Amino acid sequence: MATTIEQPEKTKAEPELLGLLAEFDDPHALVAASTKVRDAGYNRWDTHTPFPMHGIDEAMGIKWTILPWIVAACGLTGGTIAISMQYWMNAVDYPFLISGKPLFSIPACIPITFELSVLLAAFGAFFGMLGLNQLPKLYNPMFKSEAFRRVTNDRFFLSMDASDPKFSEIDTGEFVKSLNPIHVEEFWSDVESPKLPRNLKLGLSLVGVFMLMPIALVAYKRSTVTDTPRIHIVPDMDFQPKLKTQNTTGIFGDGREVRPHIPGTIPRGQFKDDNVPFYYGLKELPEDQDVITIAVQDDKKADEKKPVADEKPAEAGKADAKSAAAAKAAEDDKLAKLPWVTEFPMPVTEKMMARGKERFRIYCSVCHGLGGEGDGLVTLRAMDLQQGTWVKPASYHTDNVRKQPVGRLFNTITNGVRKMPAYGPQIPPEDRWAIVLYVRALQKSHQVDAKTLTDEEKQKLRDTK
């Protein structure tokens, strides 16, 4: 005979009172009620309003939190990390000397220190706020109240937490009613099953699988080899129908993508012989000289000349000086015979003068100085070092330079002279002529007596920056 054992029914959890909710229709009434709750000695309670209210903090007796200290600590931590990191990188792990500058300098570390301090302080403020407010909270039993839904519209609420030591269901209820709310209700804990709904579990599982798929695909692609191009969601002009440098191709017979220059051809619009004065500073091209490479190269010639082993240093130095001077005289004589232009091959305007001043200060003033005296910062530094390898730039105000035609000055900028490199590849012809114009203005400024200027001209000079 079988015996049936009855299973006891599971007892349903009893709901627990979590607190009281009082509703007000006026913000001033809520402030007055908050003052009374504060004076009554309650500690665990809160107010809920549809907009920020002035005076509610004082009425509730809210004290300063430790959030500012958290932000300050995170900011100081970020600054300390930044300073320590830069000191280790620059002064310890990889010291690199640049122009005699110190390996570690506080002013140079300020930008990174500032950025990291602000970053960690922002993290401290954001996550500290979440932690102190015990956020995020996705649900609260008060959300089940129909009246509480108007808290984001036109109602003001005061909630009393049952975990407050002074809370009493009867006494606190009477006290809340004495605050003259328009409605008072209790809110209770949930007694439904804490298990997640089956459909929600299935949805979350599918979302998790879809989130893992990109990671798995990236891992698979990184561990395999293929001869097909990778998927490029944002092309960024990476795949264009063009030939690239140092690659092969089957289009041309030699298999090279880079095509050699065709002899006897030049790019369209770059035939300089159409305007010789503008591009070369010469009235016409000499038949017996390649003017493109005409330049004074005393520095190279001097470097090639080495003192003989059995010569005395003094005698070798004198011999080098004599040979260098002779070579310079020969080059100067050769350059002086060329048909340099004496007038600018383009209209002279105030805009051209301003452009020349700007370009001069960028390219020339570092060595020649702002006034053309040969006292630029680079020159002063090189002369202080006294290493014997620096040739001081000539002043623009010497008779030799002042008497040079504008075409020769243009050629000097284009091809260089002595230690000065060629600036032709860097500065366009228009800017080179503008620099020559400004140099002429500097030279003229040293040759004019201030007494010969009118009051209007003197005032104009004073106003000129």
DSSP β-ladder status, 17-24 and 45-48: unpaired
Contact 424, 414 (CB under 8 A): yes
Of 435, 428, 439, 436, the residue nearest 279 (C-alpha) = 428
Map tokens 């001869």 to a residue.
227
> Phi, psi (5° rounding) for residue 295?
-170, 160
Amino acid of residue 305: K
Entry pTM: 0.43
> Phi, psi (5° rounding) for residue 56?
-70, -35
Map tokens 């390219």 to a residue.
363
- Report the DSSP beta bridge partners of residue 24: 156
Phi-psi domain of 100 (left: phi exceeds 0; alpha: psi -120 through 50; beta: other): left
Of 296, 301, 295, the residue nearest 321 (C-alpha) = 301
What single-letter DSSP state applies at residue 156?
Answer: E
Return the half-sphere exposure (C-beta side, CA atoms, 13 A cut-off) of residue 348.
11
Contact 122, 6 (CB under 8 A): no
Both tokens assigned to 434: 């503008």
One digit per residue, the tens of pLDDT, for the chain of length 465 reads 455 555 555 556 688 999 999 999 999 999 999 999 999 999 999 999 999 999 999 999 998 999 999 999 999 999 999 999 999 999 999 998 887 889 999 999 999 999 999 999 999 999 999 999 989 888 888 998 999 999 999 999 999 999 999 999 899 999 999 999 999 999 998 876 667 788 988 999 999 999 999 999 889 988 888 888 777 888 787 777 787 788 888 888 888 888 887 887 877 766 666 788 888 888 887 765 554 454 444 444 444 444 444 444 445 455 555 555 555 555 566 777 788 988 998 899 999 999 999 999 999 999 998 888 888 888 888 888 887 778 888 888 888 888 889 889 999 999 888 778 899 889 999 999 999 999 998 888 887 777 777 888 777 767 765
Q: At what angle do helices 429-445 and 406-415 cross, to 10 degrees?
A: 120
Distance CA 247, CA 255 (A): 9
Distance CA 269, CA 271 (A): 6
In 158-296, where does DSSP find H-type helix? 169-177, 198-222, 276-280
Task: Show Cβ contacts of residue 157 under 8 Å, excluding neighbours closer than 6 positions.
Answer: 21, 22, 23, 24, 30, 47, 48, 49, 148, 151
